[in-house]
Amino acid sequence: MGKFLHAFFSPLGFRRAVPQVWDGFQTNIKLMVIAELLVLFFALLVAIVRGLPGRGALPFRAFAIGYTDFFRGTPLILVAYVWGFGIPALHAGFISNLSLFEYGIIALTLVYTAYVTEVYRAGIDSVHPSQRQAALAVGLTGGQALRFVVLPQAVRRVLPPLLNDFISLQKDVALVAILGPQEAFRVAQIAAASNFEYTPLVAAALLYICVTLPLARVVDGLDVRARHERATEMALA
């Protein structure tokens, strides 16, 4: 028991590791925030493209479907490896001269855009067609109906699953460590190897938990509110 506590919960190890791991965790936060903003935008764009009507939009819908299927089925660590090591080896202009931080953002954005696209699409499909028809009946164009009537309702309905995806993204940032950025897991890994103890890894885990737990409680609150709103709507109907 003493060896276990010394290896994983050494007070001295915590005092030495926390400042270093915190410095690395700030990189995690930057990666997470930038990737989340990009994912929110591109996922909504892909979801809208996938729902475009008409035969003329068929190639765009096919591309959107192919994109989501491909990146939902590809492990993030593989995408990060290809972008971080394969693309630079091509020497293809500026795309091969990005920083490891930027390659990490690209990998996270590509994979999580595919997942969040499906969340958005589910929300859009959940809005009853009569809402769009009513908007068209009062003189709105198709684009205006989507922007002012369908999307606000769809986004409000999918907030809990959106936050769940971003909790997963926040944890998966650690996979970017294979590229070399000094994020929390990488820093903790180096510290653990140099001190021959695992307390730095526990410190990194606690930092992740400090971020994910509040987000999880927000998700619970939104879920409860959504169920209450649905129950109220059914009672009024």
Query: Which tens digits make up the pLDDT trace of 197-206?
Result: 888 888 888 8
Core vs surface per residue 128-149: b (16+ CB within 10 A) or e: eeeebeebeeeebeeeebbeeb
The pLDDT of residue 60: 94
Domains in the chain, please, with CATH? 2-236 (1.10.3720.10)
Q: Residue 40: exposed, middle, or buried by beta-carbon count in 10 A (0-12, 13-18, 19+)? A: middle
Residue for token pair 């730095």: 200
Report yes or no: 226 and 154 within 8 Å, Cβ to Cβ.
no
Non-local CB neighbours of 213 within 8 Å, separated by 6+ positions: none
Mean pLDDT across 46-72: 92
Q: Residue 181: exposed, middle, or buried by beta-carbon count in 10 A (0-12, 13-18, 19+)? A: buried
DSSP-derived secondary structure letter, 225: H
**Is residue 93 pLDDT above 90, yes or no?**
no
The CA distance from 26 to 118, in Å, is 29
| Global pTM value | 0.86
pLDDT in tens, 123-132: 998 888 888 8
Non-local CB neighbours of 106 within 8 Å, separated by 6+ positions: 83, 98
Q: Distance of CA 3 to CAs 6, 7, 17, 204, 225, Å?
A: 5, 6, 18, 20, 47
The CA distance from 182 to 23, in Å, is 9
The CA distance from 94 to 145, in Å, is 39
**Is residue 228 pLDDT above 80, yes or no?**
no
